[in-house]
Amino acid sequence: MEAGSFADVPQDLRKEIEQLETLFTVDTTKLKQITDHFVKELEKGLSVEGGSIPMNPTWVMSFPSGYETGTYLALDMGGTNLRVCQITLTEQKSEFDIIQSKYRMPEELKTGEADELWEYIADCLMQFLHNHHGDISKMEKLPLGFTFSYPATQNYVDEGVLQRWTKGFDIAGVEGHNVVPMFEAALARRGVPIKLSALINDTTGTLIASAYTDNKMKIGCIFGTGCNAAYMEDCGSIPKLAHLNLPPETPMAINCEWGAFDNEHKVLPRTPYDVIIDKDSPRPGQQAFEKMIAGLYLGEVFRLVMVDLHDNRETHIFPGQDVSKLRKAYTLDSSFLSAIEEDPFENLSETFDLFQSKLGIQPSGPELELIRRTAELIGTRAARLSACGVSAISIKKGYKTCHVGADGSVFNKYPHFKARGAQALREILDWPEKQDPGEDDPIEILAAEDGSGVGAALIAALTLERVKAGNMHGILHPENFR
Ligand code: BGC
């Protein structure tokens, strides 16, 4: 249920809520304006000159048929966890078996030394193989799909030059370098019997895994700690690859890296809070779109609003209370906002408990109303802006109907995210109102198959199939290929 009415909220707080509404609401006209600009930026990213959206070719050059087979390892280096999977693609169409282990990604690794990162990853892989295969010294090398979900330039499917760290990572000596040799050296030091077949972005994995079981899937998205999308382009529409003379009709999965959309700050309705987030981040000026949408930042936007309204002498929320915990950056994650939005009680008692336990603050009734509305505004803005990216790809590709596979904590767990995104798509793409509530939308964002597990295995399988078939584009250097 929605929070109670604002009838009991005093005048000054009501004014504050109205101001927040103005700051955070993205109306239909603005959504359309953002989408128009987005379409142009997608084109620009594919051009020779390039733009701020990288539009990285991934050398994933086909959708799966559903008949791929074999056993593969998949490693997912996400923002929060490290996951190792062993996937067997079975003889039965679109079926697979999976075993997996999750390892915590220690916070200090994200800003530590490069060697520590690769050693930690290699240790986890070794432990996984020991647990599931026993003595690894006699094992044949298994092919691995490595899901490395950061912007990377790929001239081949099994390399990735890190363009820049995102999602709060800040490890020196990796940006500008191919991460594969660093990773392989750590494996070699331990004698881990693994052969990296493909380096994969989580969005590409999501696209391929979703298309494995649903052939209407045209776009793969992640709305999690970070945010991004991938789709299939025709090689003939990628001017920056024209020099390779690839057959124009051949498909190429593009990892958009749309988190970088509008780094120039031309259209996004940034608030003073977004400006602070950017300024205080390890990479100011980067990932403008992502910083307004992704799970890593939602709680921080909310925290900055609360601190501002406390410090602001006119409103001065939480008067006389100790707000020292609230002052700590990144102390609230998006699950805190989810919990506020999910509070089922009219008096918002769960929100009160949450503030008390997490922050040592006891909000008044009207303050609780303000808190709830702020969470709704931030969550709604994220969902509506996300729809601009999905619409832009659909417009660029001329997709009137399709499925979009989405994964990530915000998509899967944030309340109303899907419905708010669907509503925004309707507004942007001018769909008529539904006649029947059960009717499907022309473009639907649906929960994806496991991209960084099954998707990574499929991409490894598709790459090995290509090698067998002698289509070495993006696997061998073009000079050797011709
Ligand atoms: C990264 C992308 C990734 C996305 C979702 C972003 O920060 O740059 O490569 O796909 O997060 O994980």
Task: Ligand 1: list residues with CB < 6 Å.
Answer: 149-151, 166-167, 201-203, 222, 224, 226-228, 257, 259, 290
**Residue 149 designated active-site:** yes
CA distance 125 to 121: 6
pLDDT tens per residue across span 143-188: 999 999 999 999 999 999 999 999 999 999 999 999 999 999 999 9
**Residue 420 designated active-site:** no
pLDDT at 2: 45
The domain locations on the chain are: 59-214+450-461
Q: Which atom of ligand 1 is nearest to the CA of 150?
A: 9
CA angle (99, 103, 106) in 5-degree steps: 165
What are the b/e assignments for 417-454, b being 16+ CB within 10 Å? bbebbbbbbbbbbeeeeeeeeeeeeebebbebbbbbbb
Which of 167, 170, 290, 296 is the pocket-test mutation for ligand 1 (most atoms within 8 Å of CB)?
167
Rounded to two decimals, the pTM is 0.95
Which of 82, 83, 222 is the pocket-test mutation for ligand 1 (most atoms within 8 Å of CB)?
222
Q: Which atom of ligand 1 is nearest to the CA of 152?
A: 9
Structure tokens at 466: 């290509």
Percent of the residues in the chain that have a pLDDT greater than 70, as a whole number = 97
Cα 149 to averaged position of ligand 1 atoms, centre (Å)? 5
Structure tokens at 477: 């250097």
Closest-CA residue to 44 (of 220, 236, 261, 267) = 261
> Which protein residue has the closest C-alpha to ligand 1 atom 11?
226
pLDDT tens per residue across span 52-75: 999 999 999 999 999 999 999 999
CB-CB contact of 450 with 99 (8 Å): no
CB-CB contact of 407 with 57 (8 Å): no
Residue among 52, 76, 158, 164 flagged as catalytic: 164
> Which protein residue has the closest C-alpha to ligand 1 atom 8?
150
> Which protein residue has the closest C-alpha to ligand 1 atom 6?
226
* Burial label, 170 (beta-carbon count in 10 A; 0-12, 13-18, 19+): middle
- Residue bearing tokens 């995102």: 166
Non-local CB neighbours of 31 within 8 Å, separated by 6+ positions? 384, 387, 388, 424, 427, 428
Select the CATH number that applies to the domain covering 59-214+450-461 from these four: 2.60.40.1260, 3.30.499.10, 1.25.60.10, 3.30.420.40: 3.30.420.40
* Burial label, 375 (beta-carbon count in 10 A; 0-12, 13-18, 19+): buried
pLDDT tens per residue across span 461-470: 999 999 888 8
CA 254: distance to chain centroid? 15
pLDDT tens per residue across span 342-397: 999 999 999 999 999 999 999 999 999 999 999 999 999 999 999 999 999 999 99
**Residue 190 designated active-site:** no
CA distance 66 to 69: 9
